[in-house]
Structure 1
Amino acid sequence: MESKWCVFVAMAMFMLVILVNGDDETSAVKPKVKIVKGKKLCDKGWECKGFSEYCCNQTISDFFQTYQFENLFAKRNTPVAHAVGFWDYHSFITAAAQYQPHGFGTTGGKLMGQKEVAAFLGHVGSKTSCGYGVATGGPLAWGLCYNKEMSPSKLYCDDYYKYDYPCTPGVSYHGRGALPIYWNYNYGKTGEALKVDLLNYPEQIENNATLAFQAAIWRWMTPDKKNQPSAHEAFVGKWKPTKNDTLAKRVPGFGATMNVLYGDQVCGKGDDESMNNIVSHYLYYLDLMGVGREEAGPHEVLSCAEQLPFSQAPTTTSSS
């Protein structure tokens, strides 16, 4: 009888392990490894696939899991939110899997990966928030409240791009997504990159959370213009500032990501409210992820208050 009981307990414990770990796509995966020209390349399967040096590092799901996503976006599914049930962790990780072999969240060690995820989501949270000063849980708890602009004032059709990205009659190119896309030319460029017809069917962004995250991560990873870094490169230190960048007070770090993504909308304007809101989300997420805001770096790295936008060249007599 005792031996049967021991067998039963052992089987129960085994089943418990399966329940805890068995359906977790993010549980440890032994990477495939090969050496090419003296460089170690890895393939970790679905999340980091295709033999990349970055896949030899920890993947995002190793250090950022469902409960942390829920903590960061705690109020997104409350009844008063505008995109209830839309955004979820699985959609984010599925989208991120496409870019992890290129270094998204996998550049450097665990700390840099955590910081990049917090930085990217800091932008996302600030741009999709419906939080305000006295909102329940505080204004920073309401990221991913929206997945689209609720009351667009225009169609955002720019006829200047009518040959490359012609507007579809009756279609509105208002803000949609995790880093909201505006204007026909931006929908066109993003659609080309993701191989999705967003020019004719931009509503796909508000109907598919994985696609919405993919579009945002693609923007994070892609330079807007030649001779400029991507937000990713500016953040992880892959970008080396030129002499002109140094004169313009542009330095690698979180501040430069705002400069890449928004330029003169928030940068070079001193103590700008929109800039401070983005920074606040980033610091809040660093804290919630267990990294701590002290890892964000000094003010000149964190802020773009004194940085000239990338679209502006410094003058030798400029004091800004």
Structure 2
Amino acid sequence: MQKMEYKWIVPFTILAFILVLVNCDNSYYRLRYVPKPCTLCNTRGGPCCMLMEEGEGICCSGSVSQNVKYTQFNSITERAVASRGPVFNRTYQKPSPWSIEFWNYTSFIAAAAQYQPYGFGTTYKDGGKVSLGKMEVAALLAHIGSKVTCDDNVSVYERVTTCGLCNYKEKNTSFPYCDENYKDNYPCAPGVAYYGRGALPIYWNYNYGEATKDLNVDLLKHPEYIENNATLAFLVAIWRWMTPIKENQPSAHDVFIGNWKPTENENLANRVPGFGTTMNVLYGDLVCGKGNNETSMNNIIDYYRHYLDRIGVNPNEAGPQELLSCADQVPFNPSVALPP
């Protein structure tokens, strides 16, 4: 396989969207990606359950809806928006009632259910004492929250603690994000623009094409489906979380729950399983390897710790700073700044 390159999109006009790592090698075409199923712990006599009881192994049990309740989810989304009160009297953007309704619990659970068999939001370790699944939901929502919360003009602390989910697409929709180098595999549909959409925004025709292949929804011809369907908007985000960006690299899911085992070279690059490396997987050198004062990295960490608290997990369970941060990690992939 030839060496792959990657484009980073610089969405100057997006209110809260962060930069997005995307595959940009027109020689690359992969087969439909299906994650490895997670071993279920449904019976006490099962091998996985016995390992869990002995404090070993990683297994899956239950559902995302059991791990994250309606009220906990709403404390991050709808209730967070409603609680801001006087903030609306200032000049900050107020989310529309449509936006508040769009990012809803039912849609999130419906999307999550499609990836539960592969361990999303349902993973346990240490004999079932630690719900990695619950923490994983907070981790994904932290990435989402850092991109689609409203009020970009307020302080980071105010956004994290008081602002709910708002944006569902890029504000500047005039740039087409059509790469004709992919016309054979992922041809651009006439009159269609592939700007950022969804909870973890995707850009460019080739990424919409990859999502089309894996999710069996024709987003290449109809990317607007993401804007109009909250379940699909969440599903694309979970797909990004569960899917490796590049062959022979882990997914954000795998590095978070510990399915990924670093090689000697990765250890030398300071990449370790944990939340910090999810930022490396998703954003590469636009966030990671820039030291402890990198703003975007610290914002996402703040969201994660706060969201853990909202769903009933002690933020201290997130671990030490070296697991939360990617400040000293060598980025997985280089980036190319491409202003629209």
TM range (shorter): 0.7 to 0.9
Q: Could you tell me which of 267, 272, 282 is aligned with 1:261?
A: 282
For residues 95-106 of structure 1, the aligned pairs below 5 Å read 95-106=111-122
| Residue of structure 2 aligned with 1:90, choices 106, 123, 127 | 106
More RCO (CA 8 Å, sep 6+): 2
Shift of 1:148: 0.7
The aligned counterpart of 2:183 is 162
Which residue number in structure 1 is paired with residue 318 of structure 2? 296
Which residue is equivalent to 1:62?
66
How many Å separate the matches in 2 of 1:32 and 1:268? 38
CA apart distance, 1:290: 2.1
Preserved CA contact (<8 Å) 1:131 1:143: no
Please tell me the residue identity of whatever aligns with 2:200: L
Q: CA 1:54–1:243 in structure 2 vs 1: closer, same or farther (change >3 Å)? A: closer
* Cα pair 2:122 2:133 within 8 Å, conserved: yes
What does residue range 274-285 of structure 1 map to in structure 2 within 5 Å? 274-285=296-307
After TM superposition, the structure 1 stretch with the greater mean CA deviation from structure 2, 191-200 or 143-152, is 143-152
Q: How many residues align?
A: 269
Please give the alpha-carbon distance, in whole angstroms, between the structure 2 residues aligned to 1:34 and 1:75. Answer: 39
Aligned partner of 2:63: which letter? T
Distance 1:104 1:89 in 2: 16
**C-alpha distance in 2 between matches for 1:172 and 1:240:** 38
Q: Distance in 1 between matches of 2:234 and 2:122?
A: 17
- Alignment of 1:118 with 2:134, yes or no, is no
- 1:233-268, Cα deviation, whole Å (9 max, x unpaired): 000011000111111111110111011111112111
Q: Which amino acid aligns with 2:227?
A: E
CA contact (8 A) 1:75 1:145 kept: no
Q: Is the 8 A contact 1:105 1:117 kept in 2?
A: yes
Taking structure 2 as the reference length, the TM-score comes to 0.73
Assess if the C-alpha contact under 8 Å between 1:149 and 1:176 holds in 2: yes
Q: Which shows bigger deviation, 92-101 or 130-139?
A: 130-139
Q: Which runs of 5+ in 2 are unaligned?
A: 1-39, 50-57, 83-87, 335-340
Kindly, what percent of the aligned residue pairs are identical? 56
Whole-angstrom distance in 2 between the partners of 1:222 and 1:127: 19
1:235–1:256 contact (8 Å) kept in structure 2: yes
Counterpart residue identity of residue 300, structure 2: I
User: Counterpart of 2:131 in 1: which secondary structure?
Assistant: helix
1:164-243 alignment runs, 5 A limit: 164-243=185-264
Q: Tell me what 1:26 maps to.
A: none
The answer to which of 82-91 and 234-243 deviates more is 82-91
- Kindly indicate whether the alpha-carbon contact (under 8 Å) linking 1:148 and 1:180 is maintained by their aligned counterparts in 2: yes
Cα deviation, residue 134, structure 1: 3.8
**Relative to 1, partners in 2 of residues 1:277 and 1:168: Cα closer, same or farther, differing over 3 Å?**
same
Deviations 1:98-138 (A, max 9, x none): 11111001111453122111001101111111234647992
Distance 1:136 1:80 in 2: 16
Provide the TM-score with structure 1 as the length reference.
0.77
- Note the aligned Cα RMSD (angstroms): 2.6
Q: Please state whether the residue corresponding to 1:120 is helix, strand or coil.
A: helix
1:151 Cα offset (Å): 1.8
Unaligned runs of 5+ in 1: 1-30, 42-52, 313-320
